[in-house]
Structure 1
């Protein structure tokens, strides 16, 4: 059975990401997937172009 753990983290210098949780027992094998949030994209068009 798979269980999930979702956390947000800040990337430290050198690209290091640290995850700490009491739900993670020592010695267990885990799979880590990193999703990078990108800043929202804004339209390059001026507002008057929509009129």
Structure 2
């Protein structure tokens, strides 16, 4: 299993040609996931915290 993974990773690293369509799909999936994920509130710095 580890040898097969290492072989796949080596092939990916040595790829001479990038698949533009695959890059487009990956970027679209990332942007979609990022836009639908709930965003945590920004951290409050101690000197900005007016609650005391």
TM-score using structure 2 length: 0.18
Higher relative contact order, chain-length normalized (CA < 8 Å, sep 6+): 1
Larger fraction in helix: 2
TM-score using structure 1 length: 0.18
